[in-house]
Amino acid sequence: MPDATLLDTVRWVSGAWLKKKFPRTAVELGTGQHTLDDGASLLSQAAYDDGGAEYATRLQLREDRPDATWRTTVTAVRSTDRESGTVCVDLECFPNTGPMPRTGKPNLVRDLVRELEPYDGMSRLSGNALRVTGSHVDRLIDKLCDPERVMPTVVAARPALADPLWSKRVSSTMQQLAGDASTYLLWDVEAVDAFREAIGHDHRVGLGAVRTFLPGVDPAWVPDAARHRVLGPARWMNPADSAWNGVARRVHALALERPLPSALSAVTFPDRVAEQHRQERRESIDKARQLAEAIPSQRTAEHDEELRAEVALLNGLLGQADKELGELSRSVELAERASTSAQEQLRTVAAERDSEVEDHLETLDALQQARAEADRLRVLLLRQGRSQDVAEAAEGLPGIPGSFEELWERLGELEGVTVTADPETAVALDEHTLSRTWAAKCWSALVSLDSYATAAREGFQGGFYQFCTTPPPGAKPYPRKQLAMAESGKTMGQYGDERQFPGLDGERVEMQAHLKIGGGRIAPRLYFLDAVKESQGPNAGRLVVGYVGEHLTNQQTN
């Protein structure tokens, strides 16, 4: 963003925001600690280069409220080349008691975006989606493919027929994305067609759809399209569907995962407040010493008055020191809580990494076995002169779903499985970084269940556990280590009501058997009911999947 007026603009916009929050207080932005009300204070800091020029500023608002302590920090740093700068707004919440309060993006972010008009590479950030017509599509493609872009870009395409709910939801989403992503709106059918022609069929954005393009778009590589999530028009126009909320949540989650720019992480601010207090204490102590030296051994009323003044001065110093110690203690407490939170996040990331590595190793092992089997079959067919069969077998093979939304659209391919699970709970998993991996594993789990149902109809005598441990020829088993046919007694005793899911007749039925889809904090699970061999009851002869979503509560739930 423009560098020349960066610091002044950030202070001006932040000051206007603070005046709206504290209309009865004269907000001061000068360097130092300022009290705004009984529970709010503002810390203003500045950093200077060797030439004495200010190159960074930080404003930190701390609000100590009954439910939580809120800390909003605005940091702005000018660049070394004086051409551009960087601004960061950080909101922290430290709950006092009870659950974490609901947080939202401060209006300050939108105010800064509007005034500063920042850029992410070639893409301009804005408070509302920027209009794109057919003649500007090529520029949009350049921005999507820009290697300097580090934030998502969200592209929406207006529907063929105006829809008020679509417009309201898309407008709200674009406003929520201010500062986290660049946003564009394909204005008409001509723009939608031109965009599809320029970027290709797989990366297109259809009428009424909204697509989140991650950095590093490669239109020439078809598999790349799966990285960039699409939410179709039906999801935006259905009043009962809330999946559209996930677009902003996912983009915001990506923003939290993105590391700070080096300019922000490297800047340090001198503690001028503490330095100012030390200077004030030195001056007061010197004054008290002078008063003490001026008092003669013979005490008089005048000297008593001087002594009282000295005592008052020392009491003032003690009061100031007590206030500083209280402020320092609170700052240390918040720093420790922030450090604890960061350590918990680090442990979560490490657990997810380990789980993902294990999943990849299992996938590689299964892939190696499948390739070896395919190679043997290919050789046998070629020896029999059936080269045409080999060629036809390699064509038109279906891929794996790239999201849970796509997975749900393909449930009709499973002849032996009926899914009664809530689609919104499953599709909500698409908001997470590992969702593509989870969707692929969930599809593998469903295919395995479908394969088991087919085998059971053809005479396989065992249950699903036996199917996975000793699969019949041509079967598609699921990894045995990721299968649990029952919950523990304690879990069912305390949380059994969470394991009640809809059966084929709509009535809720207990389902304990489940498959592990992923690990980490979310740890998705798939719960199912095996009634394939039953001859009576509403679920007889079917395999019913009643739940796909985040890990349910159990004895180990954190």
Q: Which one, of 269, 238, 295, lies nearest residue 60 by Cα?
A: 269
Residue 519 clears pLDDT 60, i.e. is over it: yes
The whole-angstrom separation of Cα 117 and Cα 471 is 61
Residue 132 clears pLDDT 90, i.e. is over it: yes
Number of CB atoms found within 10 A of residue 473's CB: 5
The whole-angstrom separation of Cα 50 and Cα 54 is 10
pLDDT at position 455: 92
pLDDT at position 253: 87
Mean pLDDT for 121-142 is: 94
pLDDT for 200-247, tens place per residue? 999 999 999 999 999 999 998 888 888 899 999 998 999 988 889 989
pLDDT at position 282: 67
pLDDT for 61-119, tens place per residue? 999 888 888 999 999 999 876 567 899 999 988 888 777 777 888 999 999 999 999 99
pLDDT at position 297: 52
The whole-angstrom separation of Cα 510 and Cα 544 is 11
Count CA atoms closer than 13 A to 283's CA, side-chain side.
6
pLDDT band at 396 (very low <50, low <70, confident <90, very high): low
pLDDT at position 18: 95
Q: Is 209 helix (H, G, I), strand (E, B) or coil?
A: coil
pLDDT band at 506 (very low <50, low <70, confident <90, very high): confident
- The more confidently predicted of residues 438 and 394 is 438
Mean pLDDT for 376-398 is: 79
pLDDT band at 465 (very low <50, low <70, confident <90, very high): very high
Q: Which one, of 251, 260, 264, lies nearest residue 151 by Cα?
A: 251
pLDDT at position 104: 82
Residue 346 clears pLDDT 80, i.e. is over it: no
Beta bridge partners, 62, equal 41, 71
Mean pLDDT for 40-53 is: 89
What phi-psi label fits residue 399: left (phi over 0), alpha (psi between -120 and 50 degrees) or beta?
Answer: beta
Long-range pairs for 39-45 at CB < 8 Å and ≥24 separation? Answer: 39/63, 39/64, 39/65, 40/64, 42/18, 43/273, 45/269, 45/270, 45/272
Mean pLDDT for 363-368 is: 74
Mean pLDDT for 258-277 is: 78
Which residues have C-beta within 8 Å of that of residue 526, sequence separation ≥ 6? 442, 445, 446, 514, 515, 517, 545, 547, 548
pLDDT band at 361 (very low <50, low <70, confident <90, very high): confident
Residue 540 clears pLDDT 50, i.e. is over it: yes
Provide the mean pLDDT of the chain: 85
Assessment of whether the complete model's pTM goes beyond 0.85:
no
Q: Which one, of 359, 408, 332, lies nearest residue 519 by Cα?
A: 359
pLDDT band at 135 (very low <50, low <70, confident <90, very high): very high
pLDDT at position 196: 94
In this prediction, what percent of the chain has a pLDDT beyond 70? Answer: 87
The CATH fold assigned to 123-263 is Glutaredoxin (3.40.30)
Which residues have C-beta within 8 Å of that of residue 100, sequence separation ≥ 6? 68, 93
**What's the burial of 453, exposed, middle or buried (CB within 10 Å: 0-12/13-18/19+)?**
buried
pLDDT at position 32: 85
Residue 41 clears pLDDT 70, i.e. is over it: yes
The whole-angstrom separation of Cα 489 and Cα 510 is 14
The whole-angstrom separation of Cα 455 and Cα 417 is 12
Q: Is 419 helix (H, G, I), strand (E, B) or coil?
A: strand
pLDDT band at 558 (very low <50, low <70, confident <90, very high): very low
pLDDT band at 302 (very low <50, low <70, confident <90, very high): low
Residue 457 clears pLDDT 50, i.e. is over it: yes
Interaxial angle between packed helices 435-457 and 301-383, expressed in degrees from 0 to 180 and rounded to the nearest 10 = 40
